[in-house]
Amino acid sequence: MSIKFELITPERTVFRTEVDQVTLPTAQGEITILPNHIPLVATLVPGVAHLKKGQAEEDVAVSGGFIQIQEGNRIRVLADTAERGAELDIAAIEQAKNRAEKVMQETVRADEASYMSATAALERELARYKTVMKHRKGKHTPTIESAVLPRDTNEV
C-alpha cells in the first residue's frame, strides 16, 4: 500500500507522487508517516524531508509550512520553500549560513526580531546544507526522479 504525497510551495509543485513512507520535521520533532496513518495537521519547521519509494530515496530541504495527513493515505505538505539536493549550490548555502551567523552575533539579542529572523535563516541554511551534502555523497540509492513535474506544468 502506498501514500499519495504532494509537496507544494508558492512557486511550484515539487512532488506529486506515491511513496511508501515520508519523514518530516515538525515543531514536536520528526515524524515518520506510513500507510494508514491517522489524520493529522502539524506545523512544518525547517529541516530535511525524507521520502522513500521502494529502493529509491530522496531528501528535500524544507522550511516552514503545514502538513496535512488525510484519510485514504494522502499527505499534503505546504512549504514556504522546498529544494532537492540536485538543485542546491553549496557555495551559496555556505555564504548565506555565514551571513545569518554574523547577524546573530551582531544582534546578541538586542533586537529580538532581527535575532529571530537570523535564527530562522540559519535553520533553513543548515537544512539545505544537510540535503546537498547527502546528495553529493551519493547514497547509491536511486532518487525519486519520476516524481518531479515538468516546470511548465507548475505555473502559478
pLDDT score, position 17 = 92
Tens of pLDDT along the chain (156 residues)? 899 999 999 999 988 999 999 999 999 999 999 999 999 999 999 999 999 999 888 889 898 899 999 999 999 999 999 988 777 777 777 787 777 777 767 766 567 777 777 777 777 777 777 777 776 676 544 455 544 434 434 343
For 116, the enclosing helix (H) or strand (E) is helix 112-137
For 74, the enclosing helix (H) or strand (E) is strand 74-79
CB-CB contact of 37 with 69 (8 Å): yes
Relative orientation angle of helices 112-137 and 90-107, to the nearest 10 degrees: 160
Sole residue written with cell 484519510: 71
H-only helix segments in 55-111: 90-107
CB-CB contact of 62 with 82 (8 Å): yes
First-to-last CA distance in the chain? 31
pLDDT score, position 16 = 92
